[in-house]
């Protein structure tokens, strides 16, 4: 049996209270990018080149007709809660990156703090969100962490693995409905489901069950993406296992500026090939090259 007590304002370990030196985070980013590239090159579950080919076919001439349109939707991770640099979390950093590189990428951010998967399903009925998804070449999605927290809240005095397993089944069904709704609105879009990390790592390092629960939920999302040709999973849990670097905000739950930077860099590793391939295809269309 697993018992938890969480005080979000209680002091965590020293790592969570020490801001990293600038050169330290740059080294961490370099290491993460190198690791990401190796993992993508060795990925057996997804044929990356085929995914890029399909994405290009769906977006031929997109840079001619309009900006590349990205919709970011989900919970507080998409909203950017905890970003002490006030740069709109990982979404703002992705937008800045493409802007600095003169990419015509437009991002609509519909992140909302506290959203669970059932609430996100309801929000997908909103006309503004639906119209934005209909025009989106890509959808970035964070959802599920609050579903887990809801289990903690509802079983606080007797917390064990069973309610997590039950809720995970319901979460999988709702996540499937979210995917199906998005693809019904826009059959040509690409969905990138961004996984969640274990915010309790610093509190309960010795409780293996909790980490396994998070792993199981992430694996549920990963497996579901494999059932869709245009869906992809972006892992983040390993990023928050890096030692000696402060990655959480003052609430010891959401990422801080550094944490969001790592999430943005990881996400860029996954989405950049699709966007660059579409841009190259557009350039060839302009020059008439075959």
* Whole-number Å distance between alpha carbons of 155 and 148: 11
Least confident of 68-72, 259-263, 277-281: 277-281
In this structure, the strands spanning 105-111 and 68-74 are: parallel
Structure tokens at 173: 């069904």
What domains can you pick out in the chain, each with its CATH number?
21-273 (3.40.50.1110)
Least confident among 25-34, 65-74, 150-159: 25-34
For the stretch 103-152, pLDDT in tens is 889 999 999 999 999 999 999 999 999 999 999 999 999 999 999 989 98
Nearest by Cα to 7 from 217, 180, 168, 204: 204
15 has pLDDT over 90: no
Element (H, E) at 108: strand 105-111
Give the tokens for residue 72.
């970011």
Q: Is the pTM of this model over 0.85?
A: no
Query: What confidence tens digit (pLDDT) does each residue in 17-51 have?
Result: 344 444 455 666 566 556 555 655 555 455 555 55
Contact 60, 281 (CB under 8 A): yes
């Amino acid at each position: 049996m697993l018992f938890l007590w969480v005080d979000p304002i209680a002091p965590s370990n020293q790592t969570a209270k020490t801001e990293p030196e600038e050169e330290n985070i740059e080294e961490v980013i370099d290491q993460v990018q190198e690791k990401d590239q190796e993992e993508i090159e060795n990925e057996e579950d997804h044929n990356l080149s085929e995914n890029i080919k399909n994405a290009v076919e769906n977006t031929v001439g997109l840079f001619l007709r309009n900006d590349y349109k990205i919709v970011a939707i989900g919970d507080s991770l998409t909203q950017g809660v905890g970003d002490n640099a006030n740069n709109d979390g990982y979404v703002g950093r992705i937008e800045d990156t493409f802007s600095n590189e003169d990419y015509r990428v437009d991002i609509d951010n519909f992140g909302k703090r506290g959203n669970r998967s059932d609430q996100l399903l309801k929000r997908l009925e909103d006309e503004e969100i639906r119209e934005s998804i209909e025009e989106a070449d890509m959808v970035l999605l964070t959802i599920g962490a609050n579903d887990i927290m809801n289990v903690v809240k509802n079983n606080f005095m007797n917390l064990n693995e069973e309610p997590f397993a039950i809720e995970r089944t319901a979460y999988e069904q709702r996540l499937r409905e979210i995917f199906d709704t998005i693809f019904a609105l826009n059959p040509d879009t690409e969905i990138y489901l961004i996984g969640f990390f274990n915010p309790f790592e610093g509190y309960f390092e010795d409780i293996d069950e909790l980490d396994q629960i998070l792993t199981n939920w992430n694996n549920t999302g990963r497996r579901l993406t494999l059932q869709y040709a245009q869906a992809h999973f972006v892992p983040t849990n390993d990023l928050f296992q890096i030692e000696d670097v402060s990655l959480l905000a003052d609430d010891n739950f959401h990422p801080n500026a550094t944490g969001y930077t790592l999430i943005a860099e990881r996400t860029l590793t996954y989405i950049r090939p699709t966007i660059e391939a579409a841009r190259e295809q557009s350039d060839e269309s302009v020059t008439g090259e075959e």
